[in-house]
Amino acid sequence: MAFADRLKSLRKESGLTQDEFSKQTGIGRSAVGMYEAGKRAPNYETLSKVARFYHVSTDYLLGRTDTPAEPPAHKTEPSARKPHDVQQQLRSLLADLAPDNACSVCNGHEPLDDVTRDFLRRSLENILLTAQQLAKSQAISHAKPGEDDTATRIGKKILAATPAAQISISQIISADNNNHPRK
């Protein structure tokens, strides 16, 4: 199955029109139509964008494999996570953002500068602390059987904010700038 067929199949499975897919990915509407008709091949950037959007490998999109992607451990749906998994994932993100960590954390393709990295790290620390305090303040859980406690619900909302639990630095900074405009 070629890229044209895979793209069309994935788009239809997700219930999106070509126009909706175009708007959500930033790929031009006419380009989407030409890709699906097999009249145009995507460049690497477009191929990567589609792969990230549908959580599949580029090899799958190109028809090199019939396996969409190896499901990484962190790709579990938030609703299937246990409460400690949310905290563990936030702690993992914090470790990646530690100043002494050699890991390169990026916003898209550009590495984060130290100020943004520190801002994001402190924001995540506050989120984790707030979730823990809310959970502790509810000595008796108000959740019905089968429901999650407050900390887990907050964690799930954080992790569900973007695909694959990837937090958009620009969204955080934009939201912060909207709430606290610079003078």
| Residue with more model confidence, 81 or 111 | 111
- The sign one gets for the Cα dihedral 157, 162, 167, 171 is negative
- CA 49 – CA 97 distance, rounded (Å): 24
Q: Which residue has the tokens 């145009």?
A: 40
**In whole numbers, what is the pLDDT of the chain averaged over residues?**
72
Q: Is 11 helix (H, G, I), strand (E, B) or coil?
A: helix
> Which structure tokens are listed for 66?
């019939």
Say yes or no to pLDDT of 169 above 80.
Answer: no
Going along the chain from its start, the domains and CATH numbers come out as: 3-61 (1.10.260.40), 73-179 (no CATH)
* Confidence (pTM): 0.40
Q: Angle, to 10 degrees, between the axis of helix 169-179 and the axis of helix 114-137?
A: 80
Residues 6 or more apart whose Cβ sits within 8 Å of residue 123: 172
| Residue with more model confidence, 80 or 161 | 161
pLDDT tens, residue by residue, 48-101:
899 888 888 888 898 888 888 754 544 444 444 455 566 677 777 777 776 665
